[in-house]
Structure 1
Amino acid sequence: MRGAVGGGSRARQNAMRSGLVVLGAAAFGYLSFRVGFKPYLDRAQEAMDTTHGSAATDSASGGAQPGHAGEEDNVATSKDPAVVLRD
């Protein structure tokens, strides 16, 4: 009888230990990805910020976008890809 009760407890301990190892590996992988690709992610973020910043400046100053001469721009500035791709 004692072996059956102890076996269930041991199985639970092993399952919890395995779960902890998996969570630790996932966290380590995520942090490794962030640290390893940080320069590329920073450059991409900077490029997106400058692109969106210049578009906001153009629309605020009333400048016409290339290919849209004389058209009124009714689309609000958005980071939504669907709005950007629609034009």
Structure 2
Amino acid sequence: MRGGGRARQNAIRSGIVVLGAAAFAYLSYRVGFKPYLDRAQEAMDSQIHSSDHAAAAAAAASASWEDQPGHPEGDGGLAPSRDPAAVLRD
């Protein structure tokens, strides 16, 4: 039964080596690619902010267009229909 202790020690040693290698790989990834990850995050954030500004500008432009006298919703005309046939007809 003496061989069982040696097998257990080898299993523990292998587990420690695997965990150490995984930790080293993770740290290498984070340190090596951090500048690229930061740039990608900044690009995504700026894209989100620019699309928010574009959506706000589009909403403001459409609101001002609807307030014009010739626009049906602006001067109390008929509301647009949700019927697809009516949309194709207009």
**So what's the TM-score if we normalise by structure 1?**
0.61
Q: Answer 1 or 2: higher relative contact order, Cα 8 Å, separation at least 6.
A: 1
Q: Which residue of 2 aligns with 1:19?
A: 15
Structure 1: runs of 5 or more not aligned: 65-87
**Alpha-carbon distance between aligned partners in 1 of 2:24 and 2:47, rounded to the nearest angstrom:** 33
Structure 2: runs of 5 or more not aligned: 62-90
Q: Does 1:29 align with 2:34?
A: no
Runs of 4+ in 1 over 2 A off after TM superposition: none
C-alpha change, 1:22 and 1:35, in structure 2 (3 Å) is same
How much is the aligned-residue C-alpha RMSD, in angstroms? 1.6
Q: CA deviation at 1:37?
A: 1.1
**So what's the TM-score if we normalise by structure 2?**
0.59
Which structure has the larger Rg over C-alpha atoms? 2
Aligned length: 60
Which residue identity lines up with residue 39 of structure 1 in the other structure?
A: P
**Alpha-carbon distance between aligned partners in 2 of 1:28 and 1:35, rounded to the nearest angstrom:** 10
